[in-house]
């Protein structure tokens, strides 16, 4: 008993975001004040909590002091959870509207009300009780202090019985005290303030936990959505358990030369921001990415703000990017959204639901800046989105349109450029009567990336990159680049020819020299032959003379020619 008293027990509301920000639900067996202006969603929130409770097998009683029971049912009927509520016999709806012509003669109390509630609670085994618009009854109380006493009485009664009470109250400006019942906020354990304000022609709903006795809770004003699923807190739903493991895998951007500049591509699970002015080929680059993902067999959720699927796909086809086939095969899901038709929080929720349902490997949002234009909340939405996709390991491309006067404009306004892991800026370079597209990588976390600006060439085969030429402090693109390229090529060709000429020259001279060498060698050989022959003759001659002059010569040899050799 003591441990139960020291720690607040909570009863789940079944609304994921609300249960998360309250750390498990509303104080069990105690009272929560739901405060808000008319149409802020008080009745819907309480009905939704009851519907979820009934779905879980719990019981509930709803006491309406303001709307007719039929109206209360209509309030619920447009939501998907309505059937759990309307068809169930585990709840009772009590019409406690005071009579229109009621008069007052002195103070009254709520014992009768508690009596009838007690009977109904017992009948459906209820633990939840909603008192909707009790100020309508208590305003008849001649003394306001008595009215507050009565809320205290109700609160104590619920605590005794262990009922979890939701009490709605009308907001009184920015005060956390309800109109007609100032002071009850001190009595009750928790206070939720709902608000609905028109901001830039859009209705922005929010929920804030103004008080939660004895429990940690989120204190921010949280954007709230009221859609088919009822009330949701899109930014505060449960996040995937842990951070996705940082991947070292590089995946292609779809442009081979860009992958080289990025040191092999973008990291899987990272986010890439492509910013640039209109017509700088942001969508084309994004399209390349999605096409490449599809070729790897990966799913891509492709979100286009303010552009329809048909024209978008056709435009990409004109630069050789085929999104039609992956869309048809189901690898690319194209979702066209209109930035201004819904509050940012609703767009965020739609994206979140699509991510849940489609489980893509890659996400493209083109352009995220359309969303950022709509309200200040968008940057928070983007932050949550980038966080969400990072946790899920989804590789994301966001494009952002920059203004003409401010090329880095909206990308930085939404803080996207600081959030994204990599940032590519596309731009024009206007020079010598030409407008040429350029690409530069501003940042790329965890990569040795090129710091060079490149010329971006767009053809019917998509994007290609060309090196740019520096001329003094300027970079040359387009015709100027081509001219310079031609000039360089010409010079190179000339140099090559000259070298060839010189080599041929030398070869010819070498050949001539070789011929000369052979001629001289022949001459030498002839000379040597000649000299050896004459040497031999000289030898013969000398021998003859020696023989002829020999005093011991007996007779001239007959074959020596006799008379010829004889001295006269």
Partner 1 sequence: MSDPTQSGEYSMPVLILFVTGTAPRSQRARDNLTRMLEQIELVDIHPHEVDLLKQPEESIKHSVFATPALMKVSQNGDVAILYGDLSEEGRLQRFLSDLGSE
Residues lying near partner 1 in the complex (CB under 8 A) are found at 94-99, 101-113, 115-116, 118-119, 137, 140, 142
- Enter the tokens of residue 182: 């100032």
- Enter the tokens of residue 205: 């709903």
Q: What's the closest the beta carbon of residue 312 comes to partner 1, in angstroms?
A: 59
Torsion 501-505-510-512 (CA) sign: positive
- Enter the tokens of residue 447: 């990569």
CB nearer to partner 1: pick between 98 and 183:
98
Q: Are strands 202-212 and 221-227 parallel, antiparallel or unpaired?
A: antiparallel
CB nearer to partner 1: pick between 143 and 539:
143
Does residue 327 contact residue 334 with C-beta atoms inside 8 Å? yes
Cβ count within 10 A of residue 409: 17
Q: What's the closest the beta carbon of residue 414 comes to partner 1, in angstroms?
A: 52
Alpha carbon distance 303, 305 (integer Å): 6
CB nearer to partner 1: pick between 110 and 293:
110
CB nearer to partner 1: pick between 100 and 238:
100
CB nearer to partner 1: pick between 158 and 475:
158
Q: DSSP class of residue 322? A: -
Q: What's the closest the beta carbon of residue 106 comes to partner 1, in angstroms?
A: 3
Q: What's the closest the beta carbon of residue 344 comes to partner 1, in angstroms?
A: 42
332 contacts: CB under 8 Å, gap ≥ 6:
290, 294, 299, 300, 301, 302, 323, 326
Three-state helix/strand/coil letters over 48-88: HHHHHHHHCCCEEEEEECCCCHHHHHHHHHCCCCHHHHHCC
282 contacts: CB under 8 Å, gap ≥ 6:
274, 275, 276, 366, 367, 399, 400, 401, 426
Q: What's the closest the beta carbon of residue 141 comes to partner 1, in angstroms?
A: 8
In sequence order, the β-bridge partners of residue 429 are: 436
CB nearer to partner 1: pick between 143 and 219:
143
CB nearer to partner 1: pick between 146 and 408:
146
Q: What's the closest the beta carbon of residue 130 comes to partner 1, in angstroms?
A: 15
Q: What's the closest the beta carbon of residue 101 comes to partner 1, in angstroms?
A: 6
Alpha carbon distance 303, 161 (integer Å): 52
Q: What's the closest the beta carbon of residue 98 comes to partner 1, in angstroms?
A: 7
Main-chain phi, psi angles of 186, to 5 degrees:
-80, -25
Q: What's the closest the beta carbon of residue 134 comes to partner 1, in angstroms?
A: 10
Q: DSSP class of residue 175? A: B
CB nearer to partner 1: pick between 63 and 351:
63
Three-state DSSP at 179 gives coil
Does residue 346 contact residue 227 with C-beta atoms inside 8 Å? yes
Peptide linkage before 367 cis (omega within 30 of 0): yes
CB nearer to partner 1: pick between 118 and 183:
118
């Amino acid at each position: 008993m003591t441990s139960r008293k020291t720690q607040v027990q909570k009863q789940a509301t079944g609304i994921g975001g609300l249960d998360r920000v309250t750390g498990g639900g509303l104080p069990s067996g105690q009272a929560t004040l739901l405060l808000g202006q008319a149409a802020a969603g008080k009745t819907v929130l309480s009905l939704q909590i009851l519907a979820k409770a009934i779905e879980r097998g719990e019981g509930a009683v709803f006491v309406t002091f303001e709307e007719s029971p039929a109206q209360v049912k209509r309030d619920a009927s447009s939501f998907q959870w309505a059937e759990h509520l309307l068809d169930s016999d585990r709840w009772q709806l009590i019409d406690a509207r005071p009579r229109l012509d009621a008069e007052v003669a002195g103070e009254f109390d709520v014992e009768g009300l508690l009596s009838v509630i007690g009977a109904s609670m017992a009948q459906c085994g209820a633990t939840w009780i909603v008192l909707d618009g009790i100020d309508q009854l208590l305003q008849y109380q001649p003394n306001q202090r008595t009215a507050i006493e009565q809320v205290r009485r109700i609160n104590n009664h619920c605590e005794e019985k262990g009922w979890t009470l939701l009490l709605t109250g009308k907001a009184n400006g920015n005060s956390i005290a309800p109109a007609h019942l100032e002071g009850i906020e001190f009595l009750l354990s928790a206070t939720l303030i709902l608000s609905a304000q028109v901001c830039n022609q859009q209705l922005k709903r929010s929920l804030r936990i103004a008080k939660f006795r004895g429990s940690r809770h989120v204190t921010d004003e949280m954007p709230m959505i009221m859609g088919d699923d009822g009330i949701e807190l899109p930014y505060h739903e449960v996040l995937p358990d842990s951070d996705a493991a940082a991947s070292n895998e590089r995946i292609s951007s779809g442009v081979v030369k860009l992958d080289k500049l990025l040191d092999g591509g973008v990291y899987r699970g990272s986010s890439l921001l492509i910013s640039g002015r209109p017509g700088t080929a942001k969508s084309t680059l994004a399209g390349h990415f999605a096409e490449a993902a599809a070729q790897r067999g990966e799913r891509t959720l492709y979100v286009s703000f303010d552009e329809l699927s048909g024209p978008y796909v056709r435009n990409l086809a004109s630069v050789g990017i085929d999104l039609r086939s992956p869309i048809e095969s189901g690898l690319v899901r194209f979702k066209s959204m209109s930035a201004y038709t819904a509050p940012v929080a609703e767009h965020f929720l739609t994206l979140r639901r699509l991510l849940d349902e489609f489980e893509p490997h890659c996400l493209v949002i083109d352009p995220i800046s359309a969303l950022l234009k709509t309200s200040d909340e968008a940057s928070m939405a983007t932050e949550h989105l980038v966080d969400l996709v990072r946790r899920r390991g989804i590789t994301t491309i966001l494009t952002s349109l920059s203004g003409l006067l401010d090329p880095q404009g909206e990308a930085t306004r939404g803080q996207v450029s600081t959030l994204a892991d990599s940032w590519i800026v596309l731009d024009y370079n206007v020079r010598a009567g030409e407008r040429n597209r350029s690409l530069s990588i501003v940042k790329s976390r965890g990569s040795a990336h090129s710091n060079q600006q490149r010329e971006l060439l767009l053809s019917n085969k998509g994007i290609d990159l060309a090196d740019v030429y520096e001329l003094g402090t300027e970079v040359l693109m387009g015709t100027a680049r081509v001219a310079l390229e031609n000039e360089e090529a010409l010079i190179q060709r000339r140099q090559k020819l000259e070298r060839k000429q010189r080599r041929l020259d030398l070869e010819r001279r070498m050949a001539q020299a070789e011929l000369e060498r052979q001629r001289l060698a022949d001459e030498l050989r002839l000379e040597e032959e000649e000299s050896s022959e004459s040497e031999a003759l000289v030898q013969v001659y000398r021998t003859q003379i020696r023989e002829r002059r020999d005093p011991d010569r007996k007779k001239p040899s007959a074959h020596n020619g006799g008379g010829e050799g004889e001295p006269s």
